[in-house]
Structure 1
């Protein structure tokens, strides 16, 4: 194999791997804990993809549908945006925080606590 063939093969391999690597680097594992008063309604991990919110549907909480978007910001900060919809109402809230440090938002009568893995997005 000559140098030109080697460069063509390396370019093809790089092009095939780059989208996966880029997508993986931007995916954040977010722990979502939703509380109503002192009662924890749910505590689970979501994996929102860049440009596509992760959804959490909770029929036992007034048919609540939670859409969570996460965006990486400079210097390691993360912005979380939660949209909660239920029959007859909707609420949107956003918070900026650091990975590994929980951030709490109010959504109607619920408390939403987000924590991004320490490794970030």
Structure 2
């Protein structure tokens, strides 16, 4: 989003940016090391799975789009059923990102493909 603002302000590559943009960048850059401490310990597979599910979600707004993915392992004891673009265009980009993300995860789980992973 910082890059988008720079493009909107028509800043050239060798032009000094405003104090506000410098502060936005420094704030962003200073938070990046925190990502190294991020841990989400999860075990996604059960010992005796009936099947695995992959759920992919995507969304978009006028400023950003993204996707995320969940893997669900079900066992026997638990069965539960910068160019301006339109919002529909951004939704399609988010859906494409979701499909790409799902494809990458499926390929990394290829050893589990024969054990009932559903798409």
Pick the TM interval, shorter chain. under 0.3
More strand, by proportion: 1
More helix, by proportion: 2
Greater length-normalized contact order (CA 8 Å, ≥ 6 residues apart): 2
Length-normalised TM-score, structure 2:
0.21
Greater Rg, structure 1 or structure 2?
2
